[in-house]
């Protein structure tokens, strides 16, 4: 099996081929289940983090995992040596995913996600938050398939 660093490199190649500056990987499947079948465990596969809640964001040169306080210790341990940074949701100073993307990417950037794994409300909320920064949000690409 390939290492997390190798998987991130492959994802970044796929992102470049699709014209994406970042890719968001959630914890859910096409049914928005919290506990997903192995086919839909892309967040765990790309990061090594197997907690039930969290989101990974990969840019062309950085990666982060956003999770809540239930998983701070587990996340830190499972991400060790992976080049993926832990972002502790709810802790002062921790940027939101959209805030992180706004800091890392410029206007005109395109962020992708597998839209089948998002609720309409979640997808539209993220789209609106990114539009403020001139960032587009594509939901038509499953780069982990």
pLDDT, tens digit (0-9, with 9 covering 90-100), for 115-143 = 888 888 999 999 999 999 999 999 998 99
Q: What is the mean pLDDT of residues 43-50?
A: 90
Residue 31 is predicted with a pLDDT of 62
Assess contact for 83 and 63: CB atoms under 8 A. yes
For the entire predicted model, the pTM comes to 0.91
Q: Compute the mean pLDDT over every residue in the chain, rounded to the nearest whole number.
A: 91
Strands 85-88 and 55-59: unpaired
Q: Among 33-37, 73-77, 109-113, whose mean pLDDT is lowest? A: 33-37
Assess contact for 20 and 111: CB atoms under 8 A. yes
Residue 37 is predicted with a pLDDT of 58
Nearest CA to 63 among 25, 114, 115, 20? Answer: 25
Residue 43 is predicted with a pLDDT of 83
- Work out the pLDDT band at 32, boundaries 50, 70, 90: low
Residue 17 is predicted with a pLDDT of 97
Residue 52 is predicted with a pLDDT of 84
């Amino acid at each position: 099996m390939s290492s997390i660093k190798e998987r991130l490199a492959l994802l970044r190649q796929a992102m470049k081929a699709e014209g994406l500056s970042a890719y968001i990987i959630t914890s859910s499947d096409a049914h928005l289940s919290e506990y997903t079948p192995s086919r839909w465990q892309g967040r765990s596969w790309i990061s090594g983090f197997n907690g039930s809640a969290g989101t990974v964001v990969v840019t062309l040169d950085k990666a982060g995992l956003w999770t809540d306080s239930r998983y701070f210790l587990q996340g830190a341990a499972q991400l060790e040596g992976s080049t993926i940074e832990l972002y502790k949701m709810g802790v002062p100073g921790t940027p939101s995913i959209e805030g992180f993307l706004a800091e890392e990417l410029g206007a005109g950037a395109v962020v992708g996600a597998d839209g089948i794994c998002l609720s309409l409300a979640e997808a539209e909320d993220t789209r609106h938050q990114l539009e403020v920064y001139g960032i587009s949000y594509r939901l038509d690409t499953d780069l982990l398939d």
